[in-house]
Structure 1
Amino acid sequence: MGFRYKTSQRKMYMKEETLDVVCRRVNALRSLRNHQEEGRQMVYVNETWFTTWMHHRKEWVDTTQPNTSATFSRQVHPGEGERFVVEAGGTHEGFIDESFLCYPAKNKTRDYHGEMNSSLFIRWLTSQLLPVLTEPSVVVLDNIPYHSQLTKETRCPTTGTRKVKIVKWLECHSLPFPPHATYSELLLICKENRHEPRYTVDEIIRSWGHEVIQLPPTHPELNAIR
């Protein structure tokens, strides 16, 4: 077709994947394939939003009818109407009916992630999704903050942590540090001694006898429920 693979001379205004994300994507795909080959049930989880008056700008209409006819096109209310957030799980057989969670959104923005938090998600997970899984399954989750909340034991101070709390964390973990260490030195000691991350949601899912796969960032296409 006349194309040739060569180095581009144009400036590319796009963010390339870091090695960490590449490795996480490879590991996620490998885990998905291995579990599928074992015949495990895959349960995909996701959330979205809708409005009571959602409609498309264009649609097929019967142009043989006059514009005033009720059959010419649908009558759409002005505005978007009330917004709702929906959470659900699904398998290759379709949506899990008992897993549907729907509630009205409080803000008016289209970023529905602000309407969900860790405690609400865990309550939905333990009361609606996990109890209805009748066989050992693999729960696939997107990389969203309330899916990836670290357990108390594996939380490590960050650049947003106050120095007093960093010192307290080091003392609780019996880690020695110089008496006049600077903020940066203390953070470096924390980073060198931090535990392997474990996530609260993962621990809950495994306690119910299931496995979990956390998808890498910026890869929504790997979630089959979308």
Structure 2
Amino acid sequence: MDFKWKRIKNNKAILIEKHDIQYKWFVYLNKVEEYRVEGRPIFYIDETYILSSHCQQKCWQPSNASECFAVPISKEERIIVIHTGGEMGFVPNCLTVWKAKRSSGDYHSQINCNMYLKWIREKLMPNFPVNSVIILYNASYHNSEKS
């Protein structure tokens, strides 16, 4: 991971976590390593959004491409994306994309437990490799009594 052991210039430059958080990281990293040793595929679930009005001045593109989009393709529409991927690539047929009802505020408010569980049942589970591991973060809809 390209870390080097070196002297700290001042105490404010060091990241310090509480011991219980450090322990949870230790347990998590050991468990992930255990799954890797067992040869179990590890996949990560995440959601994100794209503002359709967002434009870049430069973009990566094939050398034979004529140009990138130079102007916004619409006014402030937000597209929400949910998918699952890992070292083996993305899980086939899991990509879900929809237009948000509004383009301001936190996009997490556009996703709820019922939508998330429907996505798991209909998209993820039928296509998920056997004996795989799912890692997800702590969004409220990931941790419902329904799930």
Alignment equivalent of 1:139, drawn from 106, 110, 134: 134
Check the 8 A contact 2:41/2:88 in 1, yes or no: no
Matched-pair identity in %: 24
1:63 is aligned to: none
Q: What aligned pairs does 1:196-215 form with structure 2 within 5 A after superposition?
A: 200-201=146-147
Question: How far apart are residue 114 of structure 1 and its match?
Answer: 1.1
1:59 is aligned to: 58
- Runs (4+) off by over 6 Å: none
Q: Compared with structure 1, are the counterparts of its residues 132 and 18 closer, same or farther at alpha carbon in structure 2 (3 Å cutoff)?
A: same
Q: Which runs of 5+ in 1 are unaligned?
A: 61-70, 152-199, 202-226
1:137-156 alpha-carbon deviations (Å, 9 max, x no partner): 1111112111122x4xxxxx
1:87 is aligned to: 82
1:219 is aligned to: none
Question: How far apart are residue 132 of structure 1 and its match?
Answer: 1.0
Q: Which runs of 5+ in 2 are unaligned?
A: 1-5, 60-65
Q: Compared with structure 1, are the counterparts of its residues 59 and 110 closer, same or farther at alpha carbon in structure 2 (3 Å cutoff)?
A: farther
Question: How far apart are residue 59 of structure 1 and its match?
Answer: 2.3
1:67-113 alpha-carbon deviations (Å, 9 max, x no partner): xxxx8985403874321111111131211231111111122225211
Q: Normalization by structure 1: what TM-score?
A: 0.52
Question: How far apart are residue 133 of structure 1 and its match?
Answer: 1.6
Q: Distance in 2 between matches of 1:72 and 1:38?
A: 46
Q: Report the RMSD for the aligned CA atoms in angstroms.
A: 2.9
Q: Distance in 1 between matches of 2:132 and 2:7?
A: 45
Q: Distance in 2 between matches of 1:93 and 1:73?
A: 29
SS in 2 for 1:39: coil
Q: Distance in 1 between matches of 2:7 and 2:109?
A: 45
Q: Compared with structure 1, are the counterparts of its residues 19 and 148 closer, same or farther at alpha carbon in structure 2 (3 Å cutoff)?
A: farther
Aligned residue type for 1:59: K
Question: How far apart are residue 49 of structure 1 and its match?
Answer: 0.4
1:26-68 alpha-carbon deviations (Å, 9 max, x no partner): 1111111100110001121100001334311x328xxxxxxxx
Structure with greater Cα Rg:
1
SS in 2 for 1:99: coil
2:63 is aligned to: none
The structure richer in helix per residue is: 1
